[in-house]
Amino acid sequence: MPAPSPSTALSPSPGRFEIVVRHSRAERISAPLNSGNAIGSLTDGDGAPLVPRFPLEHATKNAKTATAATHRRITGGGFEEKLGTPRKPWRVTLSYGSYLKVDELLDLQQPLSQPRHHDEMLFIIIHQVYELWFKQLLHEVDATMAALDRDDLLRVAKHFRRIHAIQRLLEQQVDILETMTPQEFNQFRDNLNPASGFQSVQFRELEFACGVRRTDLMRRIELGDAQRARLERRSNEPSLYDQVKSLLARRGFAVATSEELVESYRQIYTNESQNYDLYLLLEDLIEFDERFLLWRGRHVRMVERMIGQKIGTGGSPGARYLESTLAHRFFPELWDVRTYLGSGAYA
């Protein structure tokens, strides 16, 4: 079907609406016929206009020949850019690198060994990545506590799904670190003294947030004012452990003592169909606790593999100290209640 000419109606039948598009001839003295200025109108089948015509201007290569009067008539004065004026080049205000601060990030790896040892770069990157994941874990734990306070257990489950994935990654990163042999590590280890992973403020903050609050460690770590304020805030506000107990209390369970908490956990597990949301919450909590213990244990074995029973660079007993941290559990009653679950000869 051939396209209609600019002056041809789209629907010639009377009684039907049609759109007519044609070039204006009103300005033929000041604007050429091919100026690109088109006028449209809505008419009935007899060609009588139903509403005033409306401008359908589009730019062409000859647009700068139009007069200023024509330009104002078509645009209504709402577009004052001079025709034919070159556009300013588009400037990028945000990029992948500027948003993520990639240049600054890549400048943070500063090996100390001279001459530089090849494996020191790996050691730095692994531990910097750990700190980034600790930051994200704190972010997720804070969100989890807020959701518990709202009794929003669906949101809690969503946060724990991400937390568990990060925990698996933390453990897997040890595989990468263990591609470095003890002999290679010992060639630059002296440069690290007296720095030590024992001094990680974010890891201590994570422990405090979850309920393990060994505040005596604050005296053994060099802290800036902001770092000390963060740890003190964490030590004084409700922990994840506290938020779980508060939720259970709101649901009618006894939580005043450790024994009562164990019994409340036993009731939830024994009657899971009546308390299924709490049942799933307890399983998320025990997995969270277990994955932290697995990471701690993997870290202990990695340190022992690297330095044996040597003293840590920060003055700690090294692997012997790390072994003692395996006793720290965020939800000890969740481990205790396992003894009282089930039925039969071994219940």
Please give the domain boundaries of the chain with CATH numbers for all domains. 18-75 (no CATH), 117-340 (1.20.58.480)
Q: Using an 8 Å Cβ cutoff, are 147 and 156 in contact? A: yes
SS3 (DSSP) at 19:
strand
pLDDT in the model for residue 149 = 97
Sheet with 37-43, side-by-side order of all strands: 18-23, 37-43, 54-57
Predicted local confidence at residue 141, as pLDDT: 98
Which pLDDT does position 347 carry in this prediction? Answer: 54
Specify the 3-state DSSP secondary structure of 291.
helix
CA end-to-end span of the chain, whole Å?
Answer: 86
Q: What is the pLDDT of residue 241?
A: 98
**In 3D, which of 134, 281, 268, 286 has the Cα closest to residue 201?**
134
Residue 224 phi, psi dihedral angles, 5° rounding: -80, 170
- Reported pTM: 0.71
Please tell me the predicted confidence (pLDDT) of residue 344.
Answer: 61
> Considering only CA atoms, which of 121, 118, 91 is closest in space to residue 108?
121
pLDDT tens, the chain, 347 aa long: 555 444 444 444 455 544 444 444 444 444 444 444 444 444 455 555 555 444 444 444 454 555 556 656 655 655 555 555 666 666 778 999 999 999 999 999 999 999 999 999 999 999 999 999 999 999 999 999 999 999 999 999 999 999 999 999 999 999 999 999 999 999 999 888 878 777 899 999 999 999 998 878 788 788 899 999 999 999 999 999 999 999 999 999 999 999 999 999 999 999 999 999 999 999 999 999 999 999 999 988 998 998 888 877 666 667 777 777 778 899 999 999 999 998 765 55
Residue 211 gets the label, from left (phi > 0), alpha (psi -120 to 50) or beta, of left
